Structure 1
Amino acid sequence: MNDVLPALALLLSVVALWLLFKGRHWELQSRVNQRLQEQSNTGTRSGTEARRGMRRLSDLLAQSSITASDYQEIRMALVGMGKTREQIPLIYLVACWLLPVLVSLVSFLVFGMVGGVIGSALAFVVPRRLIRSMGEQSELRQNLEAVELCHMTRMLMEAGLSLERVMRIVGVQGRPLLPVLIHRIDRFNRLMQSGAERSQALDELGQNKRIPVLRSYVVLMKQSSQLGAGVSVSLDQIIVEAQSVERNRIREETNRIGAKMTVVMMAFMLPALFILIGGPAVMSIADALTR
């Protein structure tokens, strides 16, 4: 017992010295962590304030009577690309105003007056044309993918599944076939899970009237409770009409490409053909005149 007490006292002394030595280090570490946390909170608050400022500016541009028509065109294109309501004003502000202004300033500083005017015109026109083109391509792609959606819906409904179950299965297993349209299907599934009515979710699914196949699909699904087994026949009709429209579009596109190629051939091949045919005669006449 007498030997244990000195050993215990020695052990406690060593622990006290170690705590005294490490206490300073722990205090400094806690201060550093506290400062980093304060800086992080400050950065978060500043980032939140910056986002709020950009959102206010984008809302002003969207509500302005001067830029209202331009905003509506860009908004429809971005909606066709699957952008959310929160993303659309910010994309419009950055792509159509902030970036063009920055490019214009750089153009005036680097290329002078003439280059600045040309750069400013391109900076304000090109992003809008690009967004509209991307929106049209996205809507065309979704129109084609809606045909595949009709095929899958017909197959699953013939197996006895309801529309809600069909859309959930498509949302899980149909992503490789519907890479662009899937965001609308996910939106439909989220609305149904949140307790919304089927008609409201279907209206959200087919709100873009520039996707006719999906629009027809939504109208048909609203009437599915009345049609019963006739849904498969109606889906077949939508598929046949969509394929016919697509064939006509491809045929028109082919004819348009042929007309463009004809113009190119006339511009580049006819002069060479005239030189080949009339060249010897012109040379003979010139030779005769020189004699």
Structure 2
Amino acid sequence: MTIYLLLGLLMVTLSIVLVAMATAAPTKEAGLSRSLAALQSMGDVPKELTAELDRPFAERVLAPFQGRALTIGRRFTGADSTERTYRKLELAGNPTGWTVDRVVALKVIGAVAGLGAAFLFSFMLSLGLMGKVVFVALGAVAGYFGPNMFLYQKAHDRQNEIGRGLADAIDLLTISVESGLAFDAAVQQVARNTDGPLAEEFSRVLREMQIGTGRGDALRALADRTNLDDLRSFVSALVQADAFGIPIAQVLRVQSSEMRTKRRQKAEEKAQQVPVKMTVPLIFCILPTLFIVVIGPAVISIMDSFA
């Protein structure tokens, strides 16, 4: 009797499962049909409706995020921050893609990134609550001033390169003018036959003069884009010679001789600084190892004798 009861329950359960499968099949097929119809209809959608999805990730996500960061950054920056940032960009040579708005936005992004990174690293360090707070605050400050430090280092390296190539560029400019070329043609020769930031600056001066800017104004703009005293004095001498009608070749000859003298004096100054700079590593790195090598065996022998 029990066996018949179990068989009856099994048959009822099997019937219910079969009925459920039979009724669900059309639903699945209908859902599949609707999915296929939707996929086919996507191909017929106008490009204007799918243009938003076809845009690059940088335009869809990064650009709006940078715009919001720029809005926040403008609230915290001073009124004269735009001029100071533009000055830093000029000294750095206007790196590709870097603008005043981008620097302001990168400050906010850097502060948020530094805050998050410092917060995560604070859990890896055995710091107290106050130590973690200070560490996170320092991370945010470092991220905020990160773009400024990058521009400062970029400007420092660029100004050093300009200073190293200034004497040779003035020599070439002097030779070109004394050989009979006009000043504009001599500047073009310097820009063509040299490389580096100074060649770029002379090319910019030449382009400004070609579009109608006066020679004096173009040279003053060159001096304003740098912070080198030698280049400023050179530009000042050229502007005065142009204003008073003094032969440019004579001024260039004097400036070339003066630049060579200054370069030799700087080389002698660097050479005289070498002994002073070597004192610190000599005292803390070389002399201790020398004492260990020379006196170490004697100290070991004395210790063995007294032992």
- State the Cα distance separating 1:122 from its structure 2 match: 5.4
- State the Cα distance separating 1:196 from its structure 2 match: 1.7
What is the number of residues matched between the two proteins?
Answer: 252
CA deviation profile, 1:114-166 (whole Å, cap 9, x unmatched) = 56744653564483555433332221111112222212211211122222222
CA RMSD of aligned residues (A): 4.0
- State the Cα distance separating 1:50 from its structure 2 match: 6.3
Structure 1 residue 32 and structure 2 residue 46: aligned? yes
Which residue number in structure 2 is paired with residue 25 of structure 1? none
Judged with a 3 Å threshold, the aligned counterparts in structure 2 of structure 1 residues 62 and 244 are, in CA distance, closer, same or farther, namely farther
Three-state SS of the structure 2 residue aligned to 1:167 is helix
Judged with a 3 Å threshold, the aligned counterparts in structure 2 of structure 1 residues 186 and 29 are, in CA distance, closer, same or farther, namely farther
When the two structures are superposed, what TM-score results if normalisation uses the length of structure 2?
0.64
From 278, 287, 307, the counterpart of 1:266 = 287
CA deviation profile, 1:224-251 (whole Å, cap 9, x unmatched) = 3333131242132232233124303431
Alignment map for 1:1-291 (pairs within 5 Å): 32-36=46-50, 55-63=70-78, 72=84, 77-83=88-94, 87-90=98-101, 92-112=103-123, 114=131, 117-118=134-135, 121=138, 124-125=141-142, 127=146, 128-171=148-191, 173-174=192-193, 177-208=194-225, 210-225=227-242, 226-228=245-247, 229-263=249-283, 264-284=285-305, 286-287=306-307
- State the Cα distance separating 1:77 from its structure 2 match: 5.0
Structure of greater Rg: 2
Given that residues 72 and 108 in structure 2 are in contact (C-alpha distance below 8 angstroms), is that contact kept between their aligned partners in structure 1? Answer: no
Cα distance in 2 for residues equivalent to 1:160 and 1:195: 23
- State the Cα distance separating 1:89 from its structure 2 match: 2.8
Judged with a 3 Å threshold, the aligned counterparts in structure 2 of structure 1 residues 60 and 162 are, in CA distance, closer, same or farther, namely farther
When the two structures are superposed, what TM-score results if normalisation uses the length of structure 1?
0.67
Q: Which runs of 5+ in 1 are unaligned?
A: 1-27
**AA aligned opposite 1:186:** S
Cα distance in 1 for residues equivalent to 2:150 and 2:184: 36
Three-state SS of the structure 1 residue aligned to 2:197 is coil
- State the Cα distance separating 1:253 from its structure 2 match: 4.8
Judged with a 3 Å threshold, the aligned counterparts in structure 2 of structure 1 residues 39 and 253 are, in CA distance, closer, same or farther, namely farther
Q: Which runs of 5+ in 2 are unaligned?
A: 1-41, 124-128
Which deviates further from its counterpart, 128-137 or 259-268?
128-137
Percent identity for Structure 1 against Structure 2: 12
Judged with a 3 Å threshold, the aligned counterparts in structure 2 of structure 1 residues 137 and 235 are, in CA distance, closer, same or farther, namely same
Judged with a 3 Å threshold, the aligned counterparts in structure 2 of structure 1 residues 268 and 216 are, in CA distance, closer, same or farther, namely same
Judged with a 3 Å threshold, the aligned counterparts in structure 2 of structure 1 residues 104 and 47 are, in CA distance, closer, same or farther, namely closer
Judged with a 3 Å threshold, the aligned counterparts in structure 2 of structure 1 residues 270 and 47 are, in CA distance, closer, same or farther, namely closer
Cα distance in 2 for residues equivalent to 1:195 and 1:157: 22
- State the Cα distance separating 1:64 from its structure 2 match: 5.4
Three-state SS of the structure 1 residue aligned to 2:46 is helix
